[in-house]
Structure 1
Amino acid sequence: MGLKNKENITKWKGIALALTGASLWGFSGNAAEWIFSHTAVTATWLVSVRMVMAGLLLLILVSFNNNIFSVWKNKRDRLDLLVFSLTGMLGAQLTFFLSIEAGNAPTATLLQFLGPVFITIYFALKFLKWPKRKEWIAVLMALTGTFLLLTNGKLDYITVSKDAIFWGVLSGVSVAVYTVYPVGLLKLYASAAITGWAMLLGGLAVSVWTQPWQAGFIDWTPSLFWMLAFVVIFGTLLPFYLYLDSLKYISSTETSLLGSAEPLVATIVSVVWLGTAFGSFQSAGGMLIILTVFLLSMPEKGILKINQTVNK
């Protein structure tokens, strides 16, 4: 009885860690939306600062228990890290925040959750294997959910801007890329180290373009400072560590499913805090997209195994 209780406590601890991390990610998108709406900060500027600062902090913390430079000793691994940093990590970060800037946090978050659908399509094409019934159902659910999300059930009316849709869908594609591409690296090196380097390199690359050090156009208020700090620390660094810690107590599949709390939190916070209008059909569409992740995460007979270690 004592052992069973201990196991239950351990599992609930893992659930709490995963839910807290997902919730913080959900809050982070809304914090970014507030920044874009109330200040002169742009998505590209925020991404460059967020990635560089979060990457540096993450590498510093990881260095206490891991050799963060080991990945640079192998030529092939160096190349894979660079490709992942510039295509997967930077692509996902930049498209996600551009979608928020053009639309709102809940829509951007839900469109990003289309990533598993693109992964399913990718593996079906790669292995020339016809998707299973479960995967066909998931794709149809995702398409239906996306339609409802973007139109609120009206055939002749799109509730979200075309730019937000474009960047949001591209964000889903980017999620597929950075979920699939770094699998080999994650088998050889600490996931936190790979993520830290990818954030730092991707952030430095976009910084050449955005030049975040030239921030004279920004009115630095206390509110903006604290929002930026929240996005970097509580919206990036802390939830990532909570996710990793949750894997000590529950399975990766369970953690991935609990990650579905992110769009729910993003929607609730957006409606309550930012006053975003969210129709009933849009809510139903969002739920269909989230259920798609649940369906594709079922391990039996599926070709998809979701890995969200580096997804934010």
Structure 2
Amino acid sequence: MQNETNSRWRGIVLALTGASLWGFSGNAAQWIFSHSTIEATWLVAVRMVIAGALLLCLLSIRTNVFGVWKNKKDRIDLVVFSLTGMLGVQLTFFLSIQAGNAAAATLLQFLGPVFITIYFALKALKWPKRKEWSAVLIALTGTFLLLTNGKLEYITISREAIFWGILSGISVAVYTVYPVRLLKKYSSAAIVGWAMFIGGLGVAILTQPWEGAGLRWSPSLIGMLAFVVVLGTLLPFYLYLDSLKYITSTETSLLGSAEPLVATIVSVIWLDTSFGTYQSAGGMLIILTVFLLSMPEKGIIKINQSVNK
């Protein structure tokens, strides 16, 4: 019994640490945007290519990561997923941070489960259940408070940040739903690793990050970039996967709600981001929707946070 308790606590700590690192990562990106000439497209290209390559190299030590390339349909699905789902989530999220702030971008991305619920309701031509409707209404209320701080005539976040943030939530839905078939056949780590690498190459071809864009390198900038790539991408993903050995995926998903909380707290304390009382309440309501939609019940979509990063 003691061993089971210890294992459970180990899983909780691993999941919370991973979610916290993801929360810090968005703020590190915001710092990079405000202290250098780096833009979201450059950062996404570098982050995805390096993190994807490192992940694949680490996985190749223990397993064959090339299995997905042996089947034509799987190859096509992987490339489509990489250039739409993976790249879509990463790029829209960082564009939202660049136009606004990490806290708001993270909270808007957490609308993903709501869009997933709406998608499956439309696909099945069936009204969502009462719990799902409640989650949607709560999410809409939370979004309104987050964006207006309770005042109709006052939008607290730029329209560009709102646009990319909501698109990020939609991208999360696409990202979560599209690769289900692949994830049933192959390791989720391998699929995510390849998707990061391919998606990063796709945007790198267009942005050519190797040219440097006139960057002025400094120890602080290099440190922040390393944090975003390794501690904000690679390490939290591994911590998430490891936590699944000790707790359920639903529990891990719920603990993943620590990400927007950490992102908000760090953004307010470190980056001096203004966050009103109604905005805080709105953020909590958005997080509440994840709890509602993750509660075990037949027909309820279980949110997989490892796919959202």
TM-score in same-fold range (> 0.5): yes
SS at match of 2:157: coil
Query: Does the CA-based 8 Å contact 1:148-1:285 persist in structure 2?
Result: yes
SS of structure 2 residue aligned to 1:67: coil
1:228 maps to amino acid? L
Give the alignment partner of residue 279 of structure 2, picking from 271, 277, 282: 282
Matched, 1:214 2:216: no
Match of 1:104 in 2: 101
Question: How far did residue 37 of structure 1 move?
Answer: 0.5
In 1, Cα distance between the equivalents of 2:202 and 2:46?
11
Q: What do residues 49-70 of structure 1 show as CA deviations (whole Å, max 9, x unaligned)? A: 0000000000000111111111
The 5 A counterparts of 1:46-85 are: 46-85=43-82
Evaluate the alpha carbon distance shift between residue 224 and residue 137 of structure 1 in structure 2; reply closer, same or farther with a 3 A threshold: same
Q: Which runs of 5+ in 1 are unaligned?
A: none
In structure 2, what is the equivalent of residue 119 of structure 1?
A: 116
Q: Where does residue 35 of structure 1 map in the other structure?
A: 32
**What letter is aligned with 2:282?**
G
The alpha-carbon deviation at position 216 of structure 1 amounts to: 4.5
Alpha carbons 1:100, 1:164 under 8 Å: kept: yes
Q: Secondary structure in 2 aligned to 1:249?
A: coil
Q: Which amino acid aligns with 2:120?
A: F
Partners of 1:175 and 1:153 in 2: how far apart? Answer: 26
User: What TM-score does the superposition give when structure 2 sets the normalisation length?
Assistant: 0.99
- Aligned pairs for 1:238-249 within 5 A: 238-249=235-246
SS in 2 for 1:215: helix
Pair 1:233-2:233 in alignment = no
What's the secondary structure of 2:301's corresponding residue? coil
> Equivalents in 1 of 2:104, 2:112: separation in Å?
14
Q: What residue number does 2:168 align with?
A: 171
**Residues 294, 300 of structure 2: 8 Å contact kept:** no
Aligned to 1:259: 256
CA distance in 2, matches of 1:308, 1:159: 27
Aligned equivalents of 2:62 and 2:6: distance in 1?
Answer: 27
> After TM superposition, where is structure 1 displaced by more than 6 Å over at least 4 residues in a row?
none
Contact 1:95 1:170 in 2 (8 A): yes
Aligned partner of 2:91 in structure 1 is 94
Is the Cα–Cα contact under 8 Å of residues 66 and 190 in structure 1 kept in the other structure?
no
Specify which of 148, 159, 171 is matched with residue 162 of structure 1.
Answer: 159
For 2:246, give the aligned amino acid. Y
Paired AA for residue 246 in structure 1: S
TM-score (norm 1): 0.98
Q: 1:226-262 deviations in whole A, cap 9, x for unaligned? A: 0000000000000000000000000000000000000
Number of aligned residues = 309
2:300 pairs with 1:300: no
Distance 2:274 2:10 in 1: 34
In the other structure, the counterpart of 2:184 is 187
CA RMSD across the alignment = 0.7
Q: 1:270, 1:157 → 2: CA distance?
A: 21
CA distance in 2, matches of 1:156, 1:268: 26
Structure 2: 5+ residue stretches without partners: none
